[in-house]
Amino acid sequence: MSIAPSDWSAVYLNAHLATMAGPGGAPYGAIADGAIAVAGARIAWVGPRAALPRHQAPEHDCSGAWITPGLIDCHTHLVFGGDRAAEFELRLKGATYEEIARAGGGIRATVMQTRAASEEALIAAALPRLDALLADGVTTIEIKSGYGLDTESERRMLRAARALGRLRPVTVKTTFLGAHAVPPEYAGRQSAYIDLVVEDMLPAVAREGLADAVDAFTETIGFTPDEARLVFAKAKALGLPVKLHADQLSDLGGAALAASFGALSADHLEHADADGIAAMARAGTVAVLLPGAFLVLREKQVPPVAAMRASGCRMALASDCNPGSSPAVSLTLMLPLACALFRLTPEEALAGVTREAAAALGLDDRGVLAAGRVADFVLWDVAGPAALSYWLGLRPRAVIRGGAPVRR
C-alpha cells in the first residue's frame, strides 16, 4: 500500500532515521540523511532524502536530529492508589518485613488504597506518572489491573486505564491481572480466589471490552502454574491473548508454560531455563526484561540473555512502573539499565522499546519506521542511536504522534 505524494500531509527531513526495520539490514535499520512523509496518522514514505519523490506537502527541518519510532512501554502497573515511599524509607531505616506488614505495608496497602479510590482518583493519581513517561517519548503504553482483586475494583482500574488514553496523546493497551495476588479476604483460600477470577472477573471484564490481554503472576509467593493454566484456558475461551509474570524469583517453568499457550510475552524471566527460552522462541513469545525491578529488589540472577540470543527469542524492555518493586517513571532510563545490568547491546535495548515491545503487545502497526505504519516517532538531539542507551534518563526534543507534533 503506497500513498501518493499528492495525499501527503507533512514531510520531515534533514534527519537520520533509526527505522528499527528488523534484522538483516544496517544496524538500527539506519538511514543517514533520511526523510519521512506522513499522510494523516500514517507514515506514507520512508527513505533517503535523495530519493524523496516530488511533493507539495509542508516540510519540517529536523536540523540533524535522529528519529526513532515512538517508544512503547509494554509492561506497566501504572494505575494504583497511594504509593509506598514511606514504607521504602522505613525499610532503609532498618524496619523488618514483619514490622512493615504490621504497619499495613506491602501490596496489601496498595490493594486497600486502590479499592478506596474512585475512578477519578485513580486517573488523577496516574496522570503525573503517565506524563513523565510521555515526556520520554512514549506513544504506546500497556497498563495492567491487579490491585483491585475484586470484580468491581478490577473493572474500575481498567476503566481508569482506558480513560488515560482519551486524556493524553497515547495509545493504551489494557491487561487484566486479577491473578496478581490473593486478596486478604481470600487468605488461605487461594483456589477459591482463582475460581472467582475465572468464573466472575474474566467474563465481566471481557463482556465490557475492558481488557486487550490477560496476565497472571506465577511464583512461590504468587499463583501456581496450574492456577495460571486455569486463567489462561478461560482467557483463550473468551478470545483474549495471554501474558505471564514468569520465573522472576524462582524457576517454576513459567517460560515453557507461557509458550505452551502461545502467550504474547513472558515477563521478568531471571530464573528461566534454556529449554523454556527455546520453547518461547518457537512459539514467538516475546521475553520482556524489566531491569527496574531487578535493580530495586537488588537481584543477583540475571535473565538468560545469551540463551535468548542463541535461540532467537525476541527481547523487549519495559518500565514495570509499579508501587512496590519498580517505581519507575522513565522508559529511557531502562535502556542504559538493561545494558549495564543485563549486558544488552544498545541496538537490542532500542529494539526492546520499539519493534519488540510492539510484538509483546500483539501490535503489527507500529514499532518501526515504515510506510503504512502509525506515524508515531521521536526526535532526539544525539550523534547516534547508541546515545539512547548511554545517557541515564535522556529526554527527546520532540514527539510526533499520529502524524502531529505533541504539544507539551
Binding interface with Zn ion (CB under 5 A): 320
Q: In angstroms, give the least distance from the CB of 331 to Zn ion.
A: 14
Q: In angstroms, give the least distance from the CB of 397 to Zn ion.
A: 31
Q: In angstroms, give the least distance from the CB of 75 to Zn ion.
A: 6
Q: Which residues of 66-87 are buried (b: 16+ CB within 10 A; e: fewer)?
A: bbbbbbbbbbbbbbbbbbbeeb
Residue 288 three-state SS = strand
Q: Which residues contact 237 (CB under 8 A, 6 or more apart)?
A: none
C-alpha cell at 8: 501527503
251 by Cβ neighbours in 10 Å (0-12 / 13-18 / 19+) ranks as: middle
* Between 31 and 164, CB nearer to Zn ion: 164
For residue 287, give the nearest of 298, 299, 301, 276 by alpha carbon: 276
Residue 302 CA: distances (Å) to CA of 272, 291, 341, 381, 388: 10, 9, 8, 32, 22
Block residue for cell numbers 543517514:
32
* Between 20 and 172, CB nearer to Zn ion: 172
Maximum Cα–Cα distance for the chain, whole Å? 70
190 by Cβ neighbours in 10 Å (0-12 / 13-18 / 19+) ranks as: middle
Query: Which residues are bridge partners to 142 per DSSP?
Result: 173
* Between 10 and 130, CB nearer to Zn ion: 130
* Between 299 and 320, CB nearer to Zn ion: 320
Q: In angstroms, give the least distance from the CB of 314 to Zn ion.
A: 18
Q: In angstroms, give the least distance from the CB of 217 to Zn ion.
A: 7
* Between 3 and 266, CB nearer to Zn ion: 266
* Between 246 and 305, CB nearer to Zn ion: 246
Instruction: Find the radius of gyration of the CA atoms of the chain.
Output: 21
* Between 227 and 320, CB nearer to Zn ion: 320
For residue 272, give the nearest of 296, 249, 255, 295 by alpha carbon: 255
Using CB positions, name the residue nearest to Zn ion.
320
* Between 173 and 373, CB nearer to Zn ion: 173
Q: In angstroms, give the least distance from the CB of 318 to Zn ion.
A: 8
Q: In angstroms, give the least distance from the CB of 125 to Zn ion.
A: 18
Q: In angstroms, give the least distance from the CB of 246 to Zn ion.
A: 11
